[in-house]
Structure 1
Amino acid sequence: MNRRTFLRNVGLAAMGGLAGCSKVLPEITSLTQHTNNTNSNASTTAGTSKNRLPKWKGFNINDFFQPDPYYAGGSTPEEFFKWVADWGFDFIRMPVAYPYYLNLEKYQKYIHNDDVYKINESRVNQIEQTIYLAQKYNLHVSLNLHRAPGYCVSTGYNEPYNLFKEKDAQDAFCYHWSYWAKRFKNTSTGKISFDLVNEPCYRADVNDTSSTTTAIPGSVYRSVAQAAAQVIRAENSNYYIIADGNNGGSDVVPELADLNIAQSCRGYTPFEISHYKAPWVYADAAYQPTPLWPGTVGGRYFSRATLEEYYKPWIEMVNQGVGVHCGECGCWNQTPHDVFLAWFGDVLDILTSNGIGFALWELKGDFGILNSNRADVQYEDWYGYKLDKKLLTLMQSK
């Protein structure tokens, strides 16, 4: 389907001054048809929690995180998913940069309006096969557009428009979510969910990631999320749909509370601990003081009590009947390991004691449980990989 056919089939409704979308795509043939068998592993909730989302616990994988379709990154081996399940986890979040599955020229940096409709089926098949590998081990997969038409929280391709300001971008956003919903329309809702866009925030120039960011006006976020939810639910009305918190994942979005859309928080506060010495966050990273927990961090005293205050709006959302999950959490490898574990233990305890599940960023890599390249960890050999056993034990205990 090309852009013209899509727009002809789309029904646009004005909501909050922006465009909405409705039914869009013709039949798409999936590699494998899946039945609506319930994934019992993913349907467990905590005690008496009011959380409308399952208490999923697991990891992010970054196979398709890079926007460049020619990026020669590694793919997650099947045995990784087996290990995740054997360790007692039931969830994989899969951030995807949509240019990865477009037909683009090699080294092309600027995306044009019509480029966003040029889907490369072979690359979609790669994503789909990875999803099926995870589901083979009863892991629920949450498909997330880390880079969506007109928006990404990080650097990469230059977008032709702004998702939160322009109708063309919103049309393309709906097109992609309708495509994915159609692709998995016969998959159990216990096996897959859709996380609309990673860490939305507003900046004047969508391509200038160094510019000052602010929260998106709630009415704008509502209209964009509602439009995408409509096209997804046109394929399966029972899908779990998740919207990341406003202002880069930090803030609850009360404007979405009545739309049966769950919300995703983050486990990165304070950044001075989670992203200690991260050069992509702090220009003066080399001069940051070594963090403590509890202790003074970035000129402010932090403790479990300050974390409880931070997560209070998210817990209130749960109590109001809104599904909540922590889609990303963890710590870069420069934070002292004992400080990381002390802080992270408080983060996870606050979340899980309120029925909120979590996903570590990442399974393997500098934030991960495997091959994190920390200098102060006595790793356990795990089939040739370096396993952070203390971190694994902490996560299993929650």
Structure 2
Amino acid sequence: MRRRNFIKNAGLLAGGLTLLDQAVLPSSPRKTNPLPKWRGFNVLDFFSPNPAPSPHPTTEEHIRWMRDWGFDFVRIPMAYPHYLQFDRSRDITPDEVFQMDEQKVEEVDRLVMLINKYGMHANLNLHRAPGYCINAGFHEPYNLWKDQAALDAFCFHWNFWARRFRNISKDKLSFDLLNEPAMRMDMNDQHSPGTAVPGDIYRKVAGAATEAIRKETPERLIIADGNWGGSNVVPELIDLNIAQSCRGYNPHAISHYKAPWANKDPDHNPEPKWPGQVGNQYLSRDMLETYYKPWIKLAGQGVGVHCGECGCWNKTPHDVFLAWFTDVLDILSSNGIGFALWNFIGDFGILDSGRSDVAYEDWHGHKLDRQLLELLQKH
């Protein structure tokens, strides 16, 4: 499927430090990333606002393969309308945002339990939250960054999931508040002009959701995606004691080559190279080192950092993708930062990615990209 484009913790899994703690003196030793270097995948069972069954539903066999291949992390991006009951022949109303569908909620339960059964960590993410998604495809009735009603609904959903999973250990389950926050002129047009969310507004939203979660499970590990689509460290969140999640998509000229949801004119994207001149910029490992430097510094301050999404759409030549992705994973891994590939099965995945330039290996009826798998295992 195409990639459409928090929690006080007394132990090792603390998401961050207090403002006093982060005042590290020049002579202080560099801290290590307090999050485990989780490695794994995103699975898209609940990614669509449409509750129709996923074209690639996650099975027990899939989770076992992940575990057997050496991975220990599964991120579950969810669109909140997927697990609601309302009249889908028209746009959702604010009142309907609170109407949970117990059958769909139980499906989320089962997937979390399945992941935990195989000793893997599950990460629950609102990819689409009331009033915000980085992608179009569903009409939001309000704006999370501007409307109190949207924030109230956002907190309701996280309080619901915190209560639902209150008996699951923080070692087995974490919450990722909101996928790739950004401030858009039109919340229902993904190509409308946008900017990073003002830090005080992001703090207000993340802080409110964190409080809603902590009311039910004070020890739950909470993660906040970086600002401006996951790219930027969010200093305003550090004293909330929550981890932060970066992305492995930089530059988009490589990761989202010809992707129609990420480019206004995908047919005229310049041919990707790594390293090399692409359009008006020279792409190289140096630019990645610069891009990840703030994230490495954040982890060095003792704030948990993980890369919640990374990978490359299937139109980028495979050799270019692997050369670039080797540098991305090497930088992350050498700094103790784990990752989750978008996705497991599908256009970005290690199975059935639909690339035209890969010698796939048959794997129980699936087409396995063995080169990509071995690259992931290496890091």
| TM-score, scaled relative to structure 2 | 0.90
Contact 1:150 1:159 (8 Å CA) reproduced: yes
* 2:248 aligned partner: 267
The answer to whether the Cα contact below 8 Å between 1:151 and 1:162 also exists between their aligned partners in 2 is: yes
Q: Verify the 8 A CA contact 1:70 1:106 in the aligned structure 2.
A: no
- The whole-number CA distance in structure 1 between the counterparts of 2:211 and 2:262 is 35
Confirm whether residue 88 of structure 1 aligns to residue 70 of structure 2: yes
The answer to whether the Cα contact below 8 Å between 2:45 and 2:54 also exists between their aligned partners in 1 is no
Match of 2:82, as an amino acid?
Y
- Residues 360 and 367, structure 2, Cα contact 8 Å, conserved in 1: yes
Of stretches 244-253 and 286-295 in structure 1, the one that deviates more from structure 2 is 286-295
Equivalent pair of 1:273/1:297 in contact (CA under 8 Å): no
Q: Secondary structure at the match of 2:122?
A: strand
- CA-CA distance at 1:203 after TM superposition: 1.1
Paired position in structure 1 for 2:225: 244
**Offset of residue 70 of structure 1:** 3.5
What's the offset of the Cα at 1:220? 0.6
Q: How does 1:297-376 map to 2 (within 5 A)?
A: 297-376=278-357
User: What is the aligned partner in structure 1 of residue 270 from structure 2?
Assistant: 289
Match of 1:152, SS state, is coil
Following the alignment from structure 2 to structure 1, what is the Cα–Cα distance between the partners of residues 325 and 31? 21
3-state SS, counterpart of residue 293 of structure 1: coil
Determine if contact 1:330/1:367 at 8 Å carries over to the other structure.
yes
Distance 1:374 1:74, change over 3 A: closer
1:290 Cα deviation from its structure 2 partner: 1.9
Are the counterparts in 2 of residues 194 and 241 from structure 1 also a CA contact under 8 Å?
yes
**Unpaired runs of 5+ in structure 1?**
1-37, 41-47
Identical-residue share of aligned pairs (%): 59
Is 1:179 aligned to residue 160 of structure 2?
Answer: yes
- Counterpart for residue 125 of structure 2: 144
Name the amino acid aligned to 1:56: W
Q: Residue 212 of structure 1 aligns to which amino acid in structure 2?
A: P
RMSD between aligned residues: 1.5
TM-superposed CA distance for 1:72, in Å, is: 5.5
Q: Confirm whether residue 191 of structure 1 aligns to residue 172 of structure 2.
A: yes
Aligned residues: 352
2:222 maps to 1:222: no
Paired residue for 1:75? 57
Check conservation: 2:31, 2:301, Cα contact below 8 A: no
- Alpha-carbon deviation of 1:182? 0.4
Whether the 8 Å CA contact 2:124–2:175 is kept in 1: the answer is: yes
1:377 aligns with 2:358: yes
1:278 to 253, 256, 259: 259
CA distance in 2, matches of 1:169, 1:282: 28
Moved over 4 A (4+): none
CA deviation after TM superposition for structure 1 residue 49, in Å = 6.3
CA contact (8 A) 1:201 1:248 kept: yes
State how far apart, in whole Å, the 1-side matches of 2:216 and 2:185 are: 34
| Preserved CA contact (<8 Å) 2:44 2:54 | no
User: Looking at both structures, which has the greater relative contact order when contacts are Cα pairs under 8 Å and sequence separation is at least 6?
Assistant: 2
1:130 maps to amino acid: L
1:28-177 alignment, distance < 5 Å: 50-70=32-52, 73-108=55-90, 110-177=91-158
Unaligned ranges ≥5, structure 2: 1-10, 14-29
Whole-angstrom distance in 2 between the partners of 1:134 and 1:366: 22
- Measured in 1, the distance between the counterparts of 2:279 and 2:135 equals 23
Which is worse superposed, 193-202 or 156-165? 156-165
SS for the counterpart of 1:258 is helix
270-279 vs 280-289, greater mean Cα deviation:
280-289
Q: How far 1:123 moved relative to its partner?
A: 0.5
Q: Residue type of the partner of 1:255? A: E
The whole-number CA distance in structure 2 between the counterparts of 1:208 and 1:291 is 27
Q: Any conservation in 1 of the 2:221–2:242 contact (CA below 8 Å)?
A: yes
Cα distance, 1:239 vs structure 2: 1.0
CA contact (8 A) 1:274 1:330 kept: yes
Which residue in 1 is equivalent to 2:27?
A: none
Conserved? CA contact 2:133–2:179, under 8 Å: yes
For each residue in 1:354-377, what CA deviation from the matched residue of structure 2 results, as whole angstroms up to 9, or x when unmatched? 010000000000100000011111
Task: Give the drift of 1:133.
Answer: 1.0
Query: What's the offset of the Cα at 1:207?
Result: 1.4
